[in-house]
Chains A and B, each alone.
Chain A
Amino acid sequence: LEFKLDLSMIIQKNGKTEEFYNLVLQSYLSKQQKPKEYLSKDDKGFDDEERIRFLNWLIEITYAYQMNYSTFFIVCSILDEYQKKTQNISRDNLHLTGVSCIYLASKFNDVIPLRLDQAIDISHNRLGRSKILKKELEIFECLDHQLNFSNGFLFLTLLLRLYLSKIKDKENDIIEI
């Protein structure tokens, strides 16, 4: 998560925030080496539409269970990273994998973590206790015990924080994230 940004760019470009934002995000993402193609496109695999439907549902879940805003982004990164490594998320096991990802991310990131009962609740009682726990451990080990993904939300929070602190003292124009 190391990134330098020259604030003097803003002053020169004078107001075009959208352009500036794109510039920052592009150089940030290229440093992180994020996967650009999230999905494998085979017949039974889960495709773009399936993923978007899942994420839509996930927004409702994070809202209903009052999770941190950043948890949504972490679930998303875990799911993508897992798919990138194993390529075996299919339409059938998306539900199980998704719920396990939510449970894992919530335990990692939330102030009050999700309980297993609640995780089963999310799945409308279709998934068993041991199934979720087994999948959770499998994902955790597959990702090499590394859940600390950088995400857009964290990036923007840090950027905003630094920008606000820089307004107070205008010593130099370069900020580090």
Chain B
Amino acid sequence: MNSIIQYQLYLRIENDGVFILSNKQIYDYQFEYNRIICDSQILYQIKDIIYYYMSVLENVRYIKIQKIGEGAYGIIYKAQDVQTQEIVALKKFKLSDYEGVPSCALREISILKQLNHPNIIKLISQIIINKKLHLVMNYYDKDLTEYLKFYHEEFHLKNIIYKILLAVEFIHSRKIIHRDLQPNNILVKNNEPVIIDFGLSRVFSPNLTPGVTQLWYRAPELLQNCHSYDYAIDMWSLGCIILEIALNKPLFMGQSEIHQLLLIKNLIDGDEWFKQNSQFAKFNNLFIDLINKLLQIDPTKRITSKQAIQHPFFQDQFAFIYNNE
């Protein structure tokens, strides 16, 4: 039996394409010179063969299991490390012949290398396979939107909010603006958040592009096409995310930039906007104060990440998001 499989494997290496496992079953999957892409079920069945194949070609390190996400920059795969059996996430960038290493990859790698924090994704290594740049990172299966679909204890939610703020403070203290904070870019594992996706982030500079952050979490000064913003745009996104955690739905769901700006202006009207809205009646006073300080339209009045950590809401152990009465 073994010898037959080996023989067929040998054949397929030369031909590329459909791969015959035994006489009865035919498995169809993509097969290239040093990597294998297939479904997870099939992978389980042909695991031994793949490991045999691995031992032939020593330069194989990761087996791609499944595609997780796709973006303008490239594709993210779930993969398994052959040497340590660990599940990792592979982020693939296209290295085109026209532009070389894409600028978002340049920024992401050099920024992630600087950041070493338990609540920020860790870059394990970066490799080049078939002229494509792959970033190897830890794998987490849940993001914040999926996490919020289930009921969770309040102290878990408060802990998540606090840990996100700690991580953002860490990023800002390194003079980096994240510029793409949104629930999809915050992963949760064992009630601990992890911030990912530094493709848009960059070092502070006096002149920047306004077209960053997902529309629902975009700060008002960005919507007004401002070219010289600072860390305050991250704090606005955080304000939206924290309210989303509490309300369990996104706060501003604009369809265009104008619509988004209108929604913001409608909700935040004067200094006492949160008192007029029945949505916020069930919240704790300290929590409302924190939100109010984060969602300031004037970026200079918005609190910084450092001040947010020292806010009384986090100092008081018994202050929860909702009123207990």
Given A2-B173, A111-B209, A158-B204: A147 touches B110 (CB 8 Å cut-off): yes
Q: How many A-B residue pairs have CB under 8 A?
A: 66
Given A2-B173, A146-B113, A154-B175: A115 touches B99 (CB 8 Å cut-off): yes
Interface residues of B in 98-126 (CB under 8 A from A): 98-103, 106-107, 109-111, 113-114, 126
Write out the residue numbers on chain A whose beta carbons fall within 8 Å of the beta carbon of B99: 107, 115-116
Residue of A nearest to B123 (CB): A145
Would you give the 0/1 interface string for A112-149, flagging 1 where the beta carbon is closer than 8 Å to chain B?
01011000000000000100110011001000111110
Would you give the 0/1 interface string for B191-206, flagging 1 where the beta carbon is closer than 8 Å to chain A?
0000000000011111
Given A116-B99, A158-B175: A109 touches B204 (CB 8 Å cut-off): no
> Judging by beta carbons under 8 Å apart, are B106 and A104 in contact?
yes
Cα A115 to Cα B103 in complex, Å, equals 11
Q: For the side of the interface on B, what is the size category?
A: 20 to 34
> Judging by beta carbons under 8 Å apart, are B101 and A154 in contact?
no
Cα A103 to Cα B101 in complex, Å, equals 10
Interface residues of A in 61-75 (CB under 8 A from B): 68-70
Cα A139 to Cα B203 in complex, Å, equals 20
Residue of B nearest to A129 (CB): B97
Write out the residue numbers on chain B whose beta carbons fall within 8 Å of the beta carbon of A133: 97, 100
Most chain B beta-carbon contacts within 10 A, residue among A103, A107, A136, A146: A107
Cα A116 to Cα B98 in complex, Å, equals 7
Write out the residue numbers on chain B whose beta carbons fall within 8 Å of the beta carbon of A147: 106, 110
Q: Which of A116, A129, A140 contacts B106 (CB 8 A)?
A: A140
Cβ of B255 within 8 Å of any chain A Cβ, yes or no, is no
Cβ of A163 within 8 Å of any chain B Cβ, yes or no, is no
Cα A166 to Cα B268 in complex, Å, equals 29
Cα A1 to Cα B175 in complex, Å, equals 8
> Judging by beta carbons under 8 Å apart, are A107 and B103 in contact?
yes
Cβ of A93 within 8 Å of any chain B Cβ, yes or no, is no
Interface residues of B in 70-120 (CB under 8 A from A): 97-103, 106-107, 109-111, 113-114
Write out the residue numbers on chain A whose beta carbons fall within 8 Å of the beta carbon of B114: 146, 148
Given A113-B103, A136-B101: A145 touches B113 (CB 8 Å cut-off): yes
Cβ of B189 within 8 Å of any chain A Cβ, yes or no, is no
Cβ of B266 within 8 Å of any chain A Cβ, yes or no, is no
Interface residues of A in 35-94 (CB under 8 A from B): 68-70
The interface residues of chain A, by DSSP majority, are classed as helix
> Judging by beta carbons under 8 Å apart, are A137 and B101 in contact?
yes
Residue of A nearest to B175 (CB): A1
Cβ of A157 within 8 Å of any chain B Cβ, yes or no, is yes
> Judging by beta carbons under 8 Å apart, are A157 and B206 in contact?
yes
> Judging by beta carbons under 8 Å apart, are A157 and B204 in contact?
yes
> Judging by beta carbons under 8 Å apart, are A148 and B110 in contact?
yes
Given A116-B99, A157-B206: A108 touches B113 (CB 8 Å cut-off): no
> Judging by beta carbons under 8 Å apart, are A111 and B208 in contact?
yes
Interface residues of B in 147-170 (CB under 8 A from A): none
Cα A146 to Cα B106 in complex, Å, equals 9
Cβ of B307 within 8 Å of any chain A Cβ, yes or no, is no
Most chain A beta-carbon contacts within 10 A, residue among B109, B173, B203, B204: B203
> Judging by beta carbons under 8 Å apart, are B174 and A108 in contact?
no
Shortest C-beta distance, A50 to chain B (Å), equals 26
> Judging by beta carbons under 8 Å apart, are B107 and A108 in contact?
yes
Q: Which of B98, B173, B203, B207 contacts A148 (CB 8 A)?
A: B203
Cα A115 to Cα B99 in complex, Å, equals 7
Given A104-B106, A146-B110: A109 touches B100 (CB 8 Å cut-off): no
Cα A140 to Cα B101 in complex, Å, equals 9
Write out the residue numbers on chain B whose beta carbons fall within 8 Å of the beta carbon of A136: 100-101
**Interface CB pairs A-B, < 8 A, 12:** A1-B175, A68-B205, A68-B207, A103-B100, A104-B101, A107-B103, A108-B106, A108-B110, A136-B100, A140-B101, A154-B203, A154-B204
Chain B interface (Cβ < 8 Å from any Cβ of A): 97-103, 106-107, 109-111, 113-114, 126, 173-175, 202-209, 230
Given A148-B111, A148-B203, 8 extra CB contacts under 8 A: A70-B205, A107-B103, A108-B110, A109-B202, A111-B209, A137-B100, A145-B113, A154-B205
